Amino acid sequence: MENSRSVMHILPDQVSFIVLDLPSPVAETVRKLRGEYDPKRILVPAEITLTGSSGLGSVLPGQDISVLNREIEKIANRFPPFKTRFRHVETFPGSNIYFLSLEDETPFRELHEAFASSKILFKESPFPYKPHCTLILREENNDPDFLEKLSAKIPLEEFTMVCSPFIHFRPQMSVNCCSRSPSPGTNDFPGTAHSSAPGSPASFFAGGVFFAGAFLAAALGSYFTGG
């Protein structure tokens, strides 16, 4: 019984990123472009990674879920919604990763630094932090004008980001550790939407099932024990 109780409160050993979901209709435009050029990624969440892929690495497993809740909540409450827009499409050097860069990286870098100075523990990353939204992975590209063609289709309108960070576990589940309303988007489960009401408590998504508040620990325990 004691082991079961401990498991319920511990971050599982999964690759996990802290992200901000893109709002509608920008998220839908990103998924549409993925469907056109990289259909395998059409169900991947449309988001901007705050920790995990660069700068700070993924969240270190084994940490107390309640500590993560408190730290993410504190950071989220420090940052009001802010307006931003994409700049153009870029690629990381020596890679086939095409991503959307941001016109002003400042608020995302400030959020990243806030997590770096928090009590949350992260794995190391060999790359400097670069806020971005991964658009597509393209194995072969024989079109020298492809980058220009793709850039002509990206959404350039201004949109508002709500500071409601999610922990995305890949591929099994996603945890919303913030009580503020998330931007519309999808979690890591195909066909399942993030749907937390404004001011709702921390939320847990597993296989399309939604749990909130005091049920978070019970949901994690159920996930690991098969209950």
Give whole-number Cα distances, 219 to 11, 40, 225, in Å: 12, 29, 10
The answer to whether 186 touches 176, Cβ cutoff 8 Å, is: no
| Per-residue confidence band for 205, with pLDDT thresholds at 50, 70 and 90 | very low
| Per-residue confidence band for 169, with pLDDT thresholds at 50, 70 and 90 | low
Q: pLDDT tens, 154-163?
A: 888 999 999 8
- Share above pLDDT 90 across residues of the chain, in percent, rounded to a whole number: 40
Cα separation of 40 and 137, whole Å?
Answer: 9
* Residue 221 predicted with pLDDT over 50: no
Residue 23, both tokens: 């709002």
The closest alpha carbon to 191, from 203, 201, 204, 205, belongs to: 205
- Share above pLDDT 70 across residues of the chain, in percent, rounded to a whole number: 68
What length is written for the chain?
Answer: 227
**What is the chain's mean pLDDT, rounded?**
73
Q: pLDDT tens, 101-116?
A: 999 999 999 999 999 9
* Residue 217 predicted with pLDDT over 60: no
Residue 19, both tokens: 């992200």
Q: pLDDT tens, 60-78?
A: 999 998 888 899 999 999 9
* Residue 224 predicted with pLDDT over 60: no
End-to-end, the C-alpha distance of the chain in Å comes to 14
Amino acid at 140: E
* Residue 25 predicted with pLDDT over 70: yes
Asked if the 2-225 domain carries CATH number 3.90.1140.10, the reply is yes
pLDDT, average across residues 201-217: 28
Cα separation of 110 and 168, whole Å?
Answer: 20
Most confident option among 79-93, 134-148, 182-196: 79-93
User: What is the structure's pLDDT at 120?
Assistant: 94
For residue 9, count other CB atoms closer than 10 A to its CB: 15
Cα separation of 169 and 101, whole Å?
Answer: 24
Angle, CA of 200, 194 and 190, to the nearest 5°: 155
Q: CB-side exposure of 160: number of CA atoms within 13 Å?
A: 7
* Strand-by-strand arrangement of the 209-212 sheet: 47-51, 15-21, 166-170, 173-176, 203-206, 209-212
The reply to whether the predicted model has a pTM over 0.85 is: no
